[in-house]
Amino acid sequence: MKQTKHEPTAAVASQDAAAYPRDLALCVGGQWRGAPGRETLAVRNPASGAELGRLPVATDEDIDDALRHADAAFATWSRTSAWDRAAILMRAAQLIDQRRGELAVVLTLENGKPLADADGELSRVIEGIVYCAEECKRAYGRQLPPRSALLTQTTVKRPIGPVAAFVPWNFPAFLAARKVAAALAAGCTVVLKAPEETPAIGMLLVRAFLDAGVPAGAIGLLYGKPAQISERLIASPVIRKVSFTGSVPVGRLLAMLASRHLKPCTMELGGHAPVIVCDDVDVARTAHACVAFKYRNSGQVCLSPSRFFVQDCLYEPFVAHFVEYASQLQVGDGLAQGVRMGPLNNERRLAAATELVDDARRRGAQVRLGGARQAGAGYFFPPTVLTDVPASARILREEPFCPVAPILSFGDLDAAITRANAVEYGLAAYLFTNDLQRAATFAEDIDAAWIGINNFTPSLADAPVGGVKDSGLGYEGGPEGLDAYQQIRFVSQSNLRV
């Protein structure tokens, strides 16, 4: 499917909160349930702190109704042919493409990322939905060699059942669409618990799926108190699968809840990605690539590079280039032209970034760039670079999820890999070298599931992303992503008369 290309213009960049949906709502059984009669939460623009709207909090009745509709819709949606499901998903992708101008502005308003990045996220949304539409027609089974005359033995894939899906605020469009599209493509219904910080983009995506022909009830949308919603959804006998993207502590908690009911989980959790820069690379070019990927979405990316190990002879030149390029990033409101990095999404992340930098500084680290909240409104924290960071600093052990880059030196590659592996995370890892033996060694020895050598690659529709150690269970994306929402049945059929 050819996507519409959108370039941010002065007219688009000048749009403000007037573009934000006036009535935020839950979606239950194809009906929108607004704020009247419900507790509400404030939704804020991270670039200014101003309130964008009031979000209704789901009640127990709302949650139970969403479950009831998902259960009822599964009976028909699971028996809808893969070709018909694919056609509906393709229409959803087309509608999102047609509406992407509105969606990108809304995404920037409530998430904070630059408008060009919001538009890029929607491109990945569309690509992911299209991929799932195509892949659902390839849910192949196997035919086993017969063990006796007129015996047919096969395996077939069938939808696992209604899904509870939980997504975070850092990529609220892409992560929601990836779960919803894969579940629907596999023949499952889904109750989506989307993030309270970025609710409007979830509403607009669900509306596109419904407008495309997804049956009422096959997709539900809830917001509110995360513990209340997650506990009630996971405990329900209706839900047969749990899919979560977010932090390790919350993922561990949801996995424990699911384990009580023996429900399978897909968990895409946190990361603390190392970047190892060897002494045989172009230092300026490599530093430029590292800066561009590190400060994408203000560092609020699970795959973001967050620990830089640079070989001794390149260390000071790399730091100098890194600081130079990072200092040139224009930070500001994502709707303003020329902005390369927006604010952090919320006060929690702002406080966390400040605490990590202060902790490193107290332990002896040097702040080469940034290091403190920007003055004025909004949740702005500038690109920050730390050197001389001691091993005891929290930022080397905890997922930063902020625009702070600690840069360390190393002498021997094996020792660098050992240091890189010395955390509980194992999501992404990156290496820059022109030596094939070093590259092969790194790919074999690093504890990570998403590995980049001489490049950084965001999540792709056709590639599985998952984690090792505390970074997750299972995979999303690629054919493995659809397999996560299917169960395999073995069928042995004798064709002899009985």
Residues whose CB is less than 8 angstroms from the CB of residue 112 and which lie 6 or more positions away in sequence, other chains included: 45, 46, 47, 298, 334, 342, 343, 344, 345, 379
Question: Domain 26-269+472-488 adopts which CATH fold?
Answer: Aldehyde Dehydrogenase; Chain A, domain 1 (3.40.605)
Residues whose CB is less than 8 angstroms from the CB of residue 364 and which lie 6 or more positions away in sequence, other chains included: 388, 390
* pLDDT recorded at residue 17: 60
- Residue in 329, 322, 432 with CA at minimum distance from that of residue 385: 322
Please give the C-alpha separations between residue 335 and each of 30, 339, 350, 402, in angstroms, as whole numbers: 32, 8, 20, 20
**Catalytic pick among 136, 278, 302, 402:** 302
Contact 467, 459 (CB under 8 A): no
Residues 462-472: tens digit of each pLDDT:
999 999 999 99
Q: Whole-angstrom Cα distance, residue 478 to residue 294? A: 25
Q: Whole-angstrom Cα distance, residue 9 to residue 352? A: 34
Domains in the chain: boundaries: 26-269+472-488, 273-453
Please give the C-alpha separations between residue 127 and each of 21, 92, 135, 464, in angstroms, as whole numbers: 25, 11, 12, 14
* pLDDT recorded at residue 14: 43
Average pLDDT, the chain: 95
Residue 61 falls in the annotated catalytic set: no
Q: What is the pTM of this model?
A: 0.95
Burial class of 441 by CB neighbour count within 10 A (0 to 12, 13 to 18, 19+): middle
DSSP result, 217-232: TTEEEE-S-HHHHHHH
- Residue in 291, 284, 287 with CA at minimum distance from that of residue 326: 291
Q: Whole-angstrom Cα distance, residue 432 to residue 314? A: 12
Q: Whole-angstrom Cα distance, residue 272 to residue 309? A: 13
* pLDDT recorded at residue 19: 87
Residues 448, 450, 452, 456, CA torsion sign:
negative
User: What phi and psi values does residue 356 have, to the nearest 5 degrees?
Assistant: -65, -40
Mean pLDDT of 27-34: 97
Mean pLDDT of 95-120: 98
Q: Whole-angstrom Cα distance, residue 229 to residue 60? A: 8
Would you say residue 427 has pLDDT above 50?
Answer: yes
Contact 145, 158 (CB under 8 A): no
Q: Whole-angstrom Cα distance, residue 75 to residue 246? A: 30
Residue 132 falls in the annotated catalytic set: no
Q: Which amino acid is at 173?
A: A
Residues whose CB is less than 8 angstroms from the CB of residue 444 and which lie 6 or more positions away in sequence, other chains included: none
* pLDDT recorded at residue 2: 63
Residues 46-55: tens digit of each pLDDT:
999 999 999 9
* pLDDT recorded at residue 4: 54
Residues 156-192: tens digit of each pLDDT:
999 999 999 999 999 999 999 999 999 999 999 999 9
Residues 245-260: tens digit of each pLDDT:
999 999 999 999 999 9
Mean pLDDT of 339-354: 97
* pLDDT recorded at residue 187: 98
- Other beta carbons within 10 Å of 169: 23
Residues 262-312: tens digit of each pLDDT:
999 999 999 999 999 999 999 999 999 999 999 999 999 999 999 999 999
Contact 480, 138 (CB under 8 A): no
Torsion of CA 262, 266, 269, 274, to 10 degrees: 130
Burial class of 96 by CB neighbour count within 10 A (0 to 12, 13 to 18, 19+): buried
Please give the C-alpha separations between residue 325 and each of 295, 322, 339, in angstroms, as whole numbers: 11, 5, 14
Q: Using 50, 70 and 90 to split pLDDT, how confident is the model at 16?
A: low
- Residue in 132, 71, 127 with CA at minimum distance from that of residue 97: 127
| Token pair belonging to 477 | 């994306």
What are residue 486's DSSP bridge partners? 159
**Catalytic pick among 127, 268, 398, 476:** 268
Strand order in the sheet with 151-159: 142-144, 151-159, 486-494
Q: Please state whether 468 falls in left (phi above 0), alpha (psi between -120 and 50) or beta.
A: beta
* pLDDT recorded at residue 18: 72
Indicate the pairing of strand 472-473 with strand 265-268.
antiparallel
- 3-state SS of 110-124 is HHCCCHHHHHHHHHH
Question: Domain 273-453 adopts which CATH fold?
Answer: Aldehyde Dehydrogenase; Chain A, domain 2 (3.40.309)
Would you say residue 6 has pLDDT above 50?
Answer: no
